[in-house]
Amino acid sequence: MHADPATTVPTIDPADREADLRLAEGLGAPKFAQPWHAQAFGTAMALSRAGLFTWADWVDTFSRVIREEPQRPGEESNAAYYRQWETALETLLQASGVLSDADIAAAAEDWRRSYLVTPHGHPVEFRRGLEKPHDHDDDHDHHHHGHGGRRPEPISVSKPIMAKAG
Amino acid sequence: MSHSHTKPPAPIALRVKAIETLLVEKGVLNQGVVDAIVDVFEHNLGPKNGAKVVAKAWTDPAYKEWLLKDGTAAIESLGFSGFQGEYMVVVENTPDIHNVLVCTLCSCYPWPVLGLPPNWYKTAPYRSRVVLNPRSVLEEFDLHVPDNVEVRVWDSTSDVRYMVLPERPKGTEGWSEEQLAELVTRDSMIGTGVCKAA
């Protein structure tokens, strides 16, 4: 699996082209694949229009992130692109002193808790001061085996059948 | 399911939500401005805009001359303008010259006329290889540029965005602008493709 960079020509993924063709509708442009891609894109543009940074500043920072934090093995090109976009956005916000990493982390945690207290199917509203949830954490299905500190045990066991010595 | 809660999105998505929430709270951005921008990108910008520009240039020699001289103003006259006041330069394909666009640094793209770029335009292989070896990259797009045709690669930047004016397909004499616009493909305006045949 070790490709020799000197002889390997990186390919332009035809699957990407196909995906674009499927997306082409209406005005024929691709749409945002994820809501947060759109939100990150729109936020950067809105900040530039609001004068927080120039678009040249944006391109400078974004292209540096693309260079220094390239697409990872197994990462889709579009996912890499918006990861880099989000990093550039945070970089510029922190550099301008408008938001710190801690500000963003705290509000992100508030958003996470806001999701967790919202019944499924209801709109999620941003709330602060929610308690840290201990009963669920978002990414797992919970079958609460092993409560009370006991080690989990199998529900049944079939012992090995020993051949009788003849 | 017994648990009635809403599964939060990925951590990176939560950070983006956090950023917008905080910026609105601090009064840096107005509520709704991000959604408004996204809405324009998803509903108002795309290659159909560019196709109108191309079709007009094919049928109106004075407009074509203006478009090649002052792309920004000629494109804006049809109602398509940029978010950052992008300076638009239109480059014309001829029997002797084929133009193709790239942004070597990131993904600068002529949004007013083409909307959001395709994925491949944003990838490292396209950004690097089309500069070094444009003919072979164009072959991968099934575009065979004859050896005697010069290939020019244009590098978009934060303030200069290019668009290709493709060659008008043969056999379209007397066609209306609307009919002609149907033949203009996105890739023909990037230079990785040509227009549909009549």
Confidence check: pLDDT of A103 > 90: yes
Same domain (yes/no): B19, B67: no
Task: Encode pLDDT of B83-102 as tens digits.
Answer: 766 789 999 999 999 999 99
**B80 in a domain, yes or no?**
yes
Same domain (yes/no): B39, B113: no
Residues B57, B65: Cα–Cα separation, whole Å: 8
Same domain (yes/no): B81, B127: yes
Same domain (yes/no): B34, B59: no
Same domain (yes/no): B22, B55: no
Same domain (yes/no): B27, B70: no
**B4 in a domain, yes or no?**
no
Residues of B in contact with A105 (CB under 8 A): 15, 18
Task: Encode pLDDT of B157-180 as tens digits.
Answer: 888 899 999 999 999 999 999 999
What percent of chain B has a predicted confidence (pLDDT) above 90? 81
Under an 8 A CB cutoff, do A36 and B13 touch? yes
Which residue in chain A is spatially nearest to B33 when comparing CA positions?
Answer: A46
Confidence check: pLDDT of A159 > 80: no
Same domain (yes/no): B74, B154: yes
Confidence grade of residue A26 (pLDDT, cut at 50, 70, 90): low
Global pTM reads: 0.81
Same domain (yes/no): B100, B120: yes
Q: What is the CATH number of the domain that holds B134?
A: 3.90.330.10
Same domain (yes/no): B67, B132: yes
Of B17, B37, B107, the CB nearest to A42: B37
SS3 category, B25:
helix
Q: Are A8 and B25 in contact (CB under 8 A)?
A: no
Under an 8 A CB cutoff, do A104 and B22 touch? yes
Same domain (yes/no): B126, B31: no
Same domain (yes/no): B156, B143: yes
Same domain (yes/no): B24, B77: no
**B2 in a domain, yes or no?**
no
**B195 in a domain, yes or no?**
no
Task: Encode pLDDT of B120-153 as tens digits.
Answer: 999 889 999 999 999 999 999 999 999 999 999 9
User: Is B103 an annotated catalytic residue?
Assistant: yes
Complex ipTM, two decimals? Answer: 0.88
Confidence check: pLDDT of A146 > 50: no
Q: How many CB atoms lie within 10 A of CB B130?
A: 26
Q: Are A105 and A75 in contact (CB under 8 A)?
A: no
The total number of structural domains that make up chain B: 2
Helices first, then strands: H and E counts in chain B? 11, 4
Segments forming the whole domain that contains residue B34: 11-43
Closest CA to B164 of B102, B108, B119: B102
Q: Are A16 and B118 in contact (CB under 8 A)?
A: yes
Residues of B in contact with A116 (CB under 8 A): 5-6, 8
Residues B113, A19: Cα–Cα separation, whole Å: 21
Find all residues with CB under 8 Å of B66, minimum gap 6, and list them. Answer: B73, B74
